[in-house]
Structures are given as C-alpha cells and as structure tokens.
Structure 1
Amino acid sequence: MLNLQSLHHIAIICSDYERSKKFYTEVLGFTIIQEVYRADRESYKLDLGLNDGYLIELFSFSNPPKRVSRPEACGLRHLAFAVENIEESIAFLIKSGISPEPIRMDEYTEKRFTFFADPDDLPIELYEI
C-alpha cells in the first residue's frame, strides 16, 4: 500500500487561458502562487492556492481535445469545494453570470450541495459544511 500524505494538486487544461484565470481567481477566489509562460510549448502554467495551500495547476495548450465532462461521465467526476452558506455562494455565482443547478440534499449526510461549470464545462460542486 502507498503511504499517501495528502492531495498535492489538481491539474486542469483550459481552452481560453485568460477566461479561466479570471474565473478561478476572481470568481472562485484562488490566489496566484506562480505564473510562467513556457515558450517552447507555447503554454502557460498557473499555480493557484486556496487558504495558504497549493491546489490547482491551470495549463493552456493550443487546441486541446474536448473531453466529456458531466458529473456522471466516466473519469474525473467533479471538483468539490466546501462552503459555509450555500445560498450566499449561489447568489454570488448568479451575480457573476454563472447558473448553478438547483440545490440538492445529500441523503446520507443531509448536507446541501449544488453544481455549476467552469469556463470549459468542468463540473464544480459547492458542498455546504
């Protein structure tokens, strides 16, 4: 068995670097740790943090292939973030031009959650703690 310590990061390839950078920093509130342009690949790599932790690598590549990306598709299902107030979070998303799904209830924990999509249709969940 591996002796895993924690999640190190999540890597996301986006189709429009500036649009996704704005989404992850201005809408979701990630902070930029480091941004580099890799000229040999014509690619950006943006390291993003949340609450003093390194969490997401956002990449740009020219013409990345599309991926099926609904929460029930095979593969990565979604990214989930904890929030304290689901209604306030939904109100902010709507004000930002994002349409979340209706609130659902986790039948086992009785906690509320919703889904919305990033600029490349990657499902993101907000889970009320």
Structure 2
Amino acid sequence: MIRHEGIHHASLIVTDLDRAKRFYESVIGLREIERPAFDFPGAWYGIGSGGQQLHLIVHPGETARSGGIDTRDGHFAIRVADFDETIAWLDRCGIEHRDNRNSITGFAQIFLLDPDRNVIELNAAR
C-alpha cells in the first residue's frame, strides 16, 4: 500500500515565462522559490504553508484549450482565505472568472484561466 503524505506539486505548461510569472505573482499572489538549474526554462512557486508547489514549465507548443472556462477540465485548486475578497481582487485585476458560492462540493469555488488557458480553481470554506 502507498502511504500518502500530500500533494507535493502540480506542473503546468506555459509558453511565455515572463507573462506567466507576472500572472502567478501579481494576480494569484504566489512567491517564487528556488528551482534547480534544469536545461529548460521554468519557475517554481510555493503555495500555502504545507510545502505544496506549483511548477511552470516552458513548452514551445500550444496548450490544448481553445474555449472558455470549463469547470470540468483538468485543473488544480488553491484554497483561499476569503471568497468575497478573492472575487473583488479578480474583478479589480480584470480577470474573467466563474464562481459558485453554493457549490454542491461543500465549499465555494471560483474558476479562471491563466494566460496560457490553464484552468485554476480557487476555493474557500463557506
């Protein structure tokens, strides 16, 4: 049996590292952490206080999404402290999003796309 300790990281493909870093730092509020000297560009970010990470990997191709926000598409989720505050911040940043305060999941959800159309869920306790 595998004994799980938690999710360590999620990796996303991006096409423009500078643009992606501006988004994840300025909009999502993540802090960049040290990354090994790989032979390809990318960036690593710490999430929360539990050691989880987000890894951005530059890929010269395109991501697969061409449509709008699809909440059933592959995504990763970050727990946020305040649902309303997060909605207000995204609105001030001009970030399109779909939100559901009364999700059947038992927690409030906000879905948005990064500049490479990767789906992100921000969720909060109700």
Q: Sort the Cα spacing of 1:90 and 1:66 in 2 relative to 1 into closer, same or farther, 3 A.
A: same
Unaligned runs of 5+ in 2: none
In our comparison, the structure showing a higher alpha carbon Rg is 1
Contact preservation (8 Å) 2:15, 2:62 = no
- What is the aligned counterpart of 1:97 among 94, 119, 124? 94
Shift of 1:83: 1.7
Q: Is residue 64 of structure 2 the alignment partner of residue 44 of structure 1?
A: no
Give the structure 1 partner of residue 76 of structure 2.
79
Whole-Å separation in 1 of the counterparts to 2:86 and 2:118: 18
Work out which of the residue numbers 35, 53, 56 in structure 2 matches 1:55: 53
- Counterpart amino acid of residue 125 in structure 1: E
Query: 1:83, 1:66 → 2: CA distance?
Result: 26
Asked if structure 1 preserves the Cα contact closer than 8 Å seen for 2:23 and 2:115, the reply is yes
Q: 1:1-129 counterparts in 2 under 5 A?
A: 1-35=1-35, 38=38, 41=39, 43-52=40-49, 53-61=51-59, 63-68=60-65, 70-73=70-73, 77-109=74-106, 111-129=107-125
List 4+ stretches of structure 1 deviating above 6 A. Answer: none
Aligned length: 121
SS at match of 1:25: helix
| Alpha-carbon distance between aligned partners in 2 of 1:27 and 1:67, rounded to the nearest angstrom | 23
- 1:107 and 1:54 map into 2 onto residues whose CA distance is 26
Residue 30 (structure 1) shift: 1.1
Root-mean-square deviation (Å): 2.2
TM-score scaled to structure 2, two decimals? 0.81
2:17, 2:42 within 8 Å by CA — same for their partners in 1? no
Name the aligned partner's letter for residue 115 of structure 1. Answer: F
| SS of aligned partner of 1:101 | strand
| Matched-pair identity in % | 27
Alignment deviations for residues 86-123 of structure 1 (CA, whole Å, 9 cap, x no partner): 111011111112011143422252x3222111111111
Q: Structure 1 residue 8: deviation in Å?
A: 1.3
Show CA shifts across 1:41-74 (max 9, x none). 5x3121111234241111112x22432483324x
Contact 1:81 1:126 in 2 (8 A): yes
